[in-house]
Amino acid sequence: MYTSRISKQTIKRLAIYYRCLEKLHKEGIRTVSSHQIGEELGLKASQVRKDLSYFGGFGKRGVGYEIRTLASRISKILGMTRSWKTCIVGFGNLGRALLHFPGIRDKGFNIVGVFDKDKKKVGSAADDLLRVEDVASIPMAIRERGIEIGVIATPAEDAQSVVDLLIKYGVKGIVSFAPTKLSVPERISVEEIDISVALSSVAFGIIRMERDGD
């Protein structure tokens, strides 16, 4: 069993390793070393080995990792072999983009509900299979569809109340794109993605490189 000593950063890197392995496999490569993975991703080979060591032995010294085997193991660790019933709350431009992003369903996240508080959107087609539902129907939808993960694409001021509702009725994990800090119980798995913070970090990097270049 994996323990709490495994950091979120390690888990994020595992997902990146998986994407790298998929790319290499498509290129016809069958085996890869930790050094090669590190070079592809700008990481030290020792970091790759350390991350993988948390989950047991994978490769062979002098041979490396068999790509299909390693990718399969990582996909199991990350829950990609399981179908996760997921909903999106907030069907503005971001929510619509997330619904149609192929990388979500391809990784086992089955979107079974789309919700919004805007009465003008409720009842309209979200895609070929789903219609936008009122947020008031979230409790029933969670019970009837077994929703486990909620994706928050609401304005910041609505995010906490939506998260509270999802958790109250049994959702176990939250991915939030709302630009605000959420308060959730320790038993809930949560990932907060603030695009403005990422952009600010990139802007700072550009400024630093410009300054260092002077």
What are the tens digits of pLDDT across the range 113-164? 999 999 999 999 999 999 999 999 999 999 999 999 999 999 999 999 999 9
pLDDT bin (cut points 50, 70, 90) of residue 4 is: low
Q: Does 44 share its domain with 105?
A: no
Judge whether 153 lies within some domain. yes
Instruction: Write out pLDDT tens, residues 8-35.
Output: 889 999 999 999 999 999 999 999 999 9
Residue 205 resides in a domain:
no
Distance of CA 40 to the CA centre of its chain: 21
pTM: 0.80
For residue 17, being part of any structural domain is answered with yes
Which residue has 């409720």 as its token pair? 122
Query: Is residue 197 scored above 90 in pLDDT?
Result: no
Residue 46 in domain: yes
**Same domain for 172 and 138:** yes
pLDDT band for 169, please (50, 70, 90 cuts): very high
Q: How confident is the model at residue 1 (pLDDT cuts 50, 70, 90)?
A: very low
In a domain, 3, yes or no: no
Contact 120, 144 (CB under 8 A): no
Q: Which residues face 132 on adjacent strands?
A: 114
Among 76-80, 88-92, 101-105, 209-213, name the one with the lowest average pLDDT.
Answer: 209-213
Residues 71, 113, single domain; the answer is no
- Tell whether 145 is covered by a domain: yes
193, part of any domain: yes
> What pLDDT is attached to residue 18?
93
Task: Name, of 74-83, 111-120, 204-213, the range with top average pLDDT.
Answer: 111-120
Domain carrying residue 52 = 8-77
Looking at this protein, which amino acid is placed at residue 73?
R
Domain shared by 146 and 68, yes or no: no
User: DSSP E strands: which ranges in the chain?
Assistant: 31-32, 65-66, 84-89, 109-116, 132-134, 149-152, 173-176, 189-192
CATH number for the domain that contains residue 165: 3.40.50.720
Q: Report the pLDDT value the prediction gives residue 103, as an integer from 0 to 100.
A: 80
Domain match, 88 and 170 both = yes
CATH number at residue 55: 1.10.10.10
Residues 176 and 90 in one domain: yes
Give the mean model confidence (pLDDT) for residues 186-191.
Answer: 93
Last residue of a domain, one of 23, 57, 77: 77
Whole-number average pLDDT of the chain: 91
- Specify whether 46 is located in the same domain as 66: yes
- Range 186-200 average pLDDT: 89
Residue 38 sits in the same domain as residue 131: no
* pLDDT band at residue 62 under the 50/70/90 scheme: low
Residues 45 and 117 in one domain: no
Structural domains in the chain (count) = 2
Separation of alpha carbons 213 and 43, rounded Å? 24
Other Cβ atoms within 10 Å of 172 Cβ, number? 14
Q: Is residue 209 part of a domain?
A: no
- pLDDT confidence bin for 59, thresholds 50/70/90: low
In this structure, are residues 159 and 183 in contact, taking their beta carbons and an 8 Å threshold? Answer: no
Averaged pLDDT, 159-170: 98
- Are 48 and 40 in contact by the 8 Å Cβ rule? The answer is no
